[in-house]
Every structure is written in structure tokens, then in C-alpha cells.
């Protein structure tokens, strides 16, 4: 099993990277969060890896931190959640933010990720809430040298940014939250904060007309 690789970053294309390790090139799929911290082509980098074996292929996934790798593996434990969706979740939420959402039942934050609908978000919370709480408390971290610590940074998810923008426009918090939660996050660019705001405003405007507001 390949636990990590260290080598020269040759190129980045989308979410795929090629790393030269002593003359051997490794292709890896990485989340956006890791990509933003890798540096530029030609730099020496380290990626913690997870190998997914399929009937017709072997796909190597890479992560800038061991915490991301642990969170990725945790997501794969849920039925119906594959590597692509797990990668999308980690592209929009840090490991700490993801675990907090799972532990606290903040399914609306999960739904803000493209491909995560209401049912999937609920299943993620039910299946992983206890394990997420253990990781946040410093238990069950496996090979990690440190726990995944919770964070209180505001506005760090697209959902939070969209909620804040709607409230700044004069909508009450419960109105804005309901509008965001009612969006179909399986379609469109729901991972884009501007798109979330635009679609939520359509709902709020429609409700305003219906109620004569």
C-alpha cells in the first residue's frame, strides 16, 4: 500500500496532478483544497495517498495533509458515497468543517456541495456523526499524530457566505436558511456562492409575490 509520495510536481490539470518520484510518474486526483497549497510546477511536494481499485483501473488520490486523507476515508464508509463525491466535499470544506457539520447535523452545509442532496446529507450525518465526534475530540485518529481540531472561523463555507449575503440584503435568518435548504443541490453550480445567492433570491422573490410582501 502506498501511504504517501514525495517528489517533483510536474503539472496540474484540473484536479489531476503528475508527480515525478525518482523517475517514476504518479498521477493523482486531489481536492481543490490540496491543490491551492501544493505550490507551483517544479516544486518538491508530499501527498498522503489512498488507492481505489476498480475492475478496470487503479486510481490514486492525494491529499496535502493526513487529516484530509482520514476525512476522505471516513466519507467512503457511507453507502452511495464514492471517491468523486468525497473529493467534492473536501474541495469545499476543510476536514474540521466537514467533521463539525457531520457531528452537529449541519446538513445544509453538506448540501451546499454539488452532488449532495437532502437524503445524502442526512445519511452522512446519521452514519458518521459518532465517528466525527471522536475525531474532533482527539479519539479514533488512528495514525494521526494530532486530533482534527474544530474551527470557529466564520464564513468559511459557500453556504455560510451565501447566508450572510442574503441577511445583508435584509432577509431574516430563517427566511434565508429555508431558501438555501430548499435548493436542489444535485443540479447546477451549487458549489458556487454567487449561484447559491442567485437561486435563493429567486425563491425568496417568488414567496414574496405569493404572500404579497
The CA–CA distances, whole Å, from 91 to 64, 120, 171 equal: 12, 17, 29
Beta strand 24-29 with 44-53: parallel, antiparallel or unpaired? unpaired
Beta strand 44-53 with 4-13: parallel, antiparallel or unpaired? antiparallel
User: For domain 4-63, which CATH number applies: 3.40.50.1820, 1.10.10.10, 2.40.50.140, 3.30.360.10?
Assistant: 2.40.50.140
The angle at the Cα of 13, spanning 49 to 155, to the nearest 5 degrees, equals 75
What stretch(es) of the chain map to CATH 2.40.50.140? 4-63
Per-residue pLDDT tens over the stretch 11-36:
999 899 999 999 999 999 999 888 88
Phi, psi at 158, each rounded to 5°: -60, -35
Q: For position 142, what pLDDT does the model report?
A: 47
Nearest to 109 by CA among 165, 194, 183, 2: 183
Q: For position 151, what pLDDT does the model report?
A: 43
pLDDT at 197 over 90: no
Q: What is the mean pLDDT of the chain?
A: 82
- Cα separation of 56 and 46, whole Å? 27
Per-residue pLDDT tens over the stretch 40-68:
899 999 999 999 988 788 999 999 999 99
pLDDT at 165 over 50: yes
More confident position, 209 or 81: 81
Query: H or E segment at 24?
Result: strand 24-29
Q: What class is the 66-213 domain? A: mainly alpha
Q: Please say whether the beta carbons of 162 and 175 come within 8 A.
A: no
pLDDT at 38 over 70: yes
Q: For position 139, what pLDDT does the model report?
A: 56
Per-residue pLDDT tens over the stretch 169-188:
888 877 887 787 777 544 44
Q: For position 208, what pLDDT does the model report?
A: 59
The CA–CA distances, whole Å, from 107 to 42, 93, 97, 129 equal: 40, 13, 12, 11
State the sign of the Cα–Cα–Cα–Cα dihedral 199, 72, 62, 140: positive
Global confidence as pTM: 0.67
Nearest to 60 by CA among 49, 76, 70: 49
What stretch(es) of the chain map to CATH 1.10.150.20? 66-213
Mean local confidence (pLDDT), 184-197: 59
User: Is residue 9 very low, low, confident or very high in pLDDT (cuts 50, 70, 90)?
Assistant: very high
Amino acid at each position: 500500500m502506498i501511504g504517501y509520495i514525495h517528489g517533483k510536481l510536474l503539472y496540474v490539470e484540473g484536479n489531476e496532478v503528475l508527480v515525478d518520484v525518482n523517475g517514476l510518474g504518479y498521477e493523482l486526483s486531489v481536492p481543490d483544497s490540496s491543490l491551492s497549497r501544493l505550490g507551483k510546477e517544479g516544486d518538491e511536494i508530499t501527498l498522503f495517498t489512498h488507492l481505489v481499485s476498480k475492475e478496470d483501473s487503479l486510481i490514486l488520490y492525494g491529499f496535502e495533509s493526513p487529516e484530509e486523507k482520514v476525512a476522505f476515508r471516513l466519507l467512503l464508509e457511507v453507502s452511495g458515497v464514492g471517491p468523486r463525491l468525497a473529493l467534492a466535499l473536501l474541495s469545499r470544506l476543510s476536514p474540521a468543517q466537514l467533521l463539525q457539520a457531520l457531528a452537529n447535523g449541519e446538513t445544509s452545509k453538506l448540501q451546499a456541495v454539488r452532488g449532495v442532496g437532502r437524503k445524502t446529507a442526512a445519511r452522512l450525518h446519521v452514519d458518521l456523526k459518532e465517528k466525527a465526534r471522536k475525531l474532533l475530540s482527539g479519539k479514533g485518529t488512528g495514525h494521526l499524530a494530532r486530533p482534527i481540531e474544530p474551527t470557529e472561523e466564520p464564513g468559511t463555507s459557500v453556504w455560510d457566505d451565501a447566508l450572510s449575503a442574503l441577511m445583508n440584503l435584509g432577509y431574516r435568518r430563517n427566511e434565508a436558511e429555508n431558501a438555501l435548504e430548499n435548493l436542489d443541490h444535485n443540479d447546477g453550480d451549487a458549489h458556487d456562492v454567487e449561484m447559491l445567492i442567485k437561486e435563493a433570491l429567486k425563491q425568496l422573490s417568488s414567496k414574496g409575490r405569493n404572500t404579497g410582501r
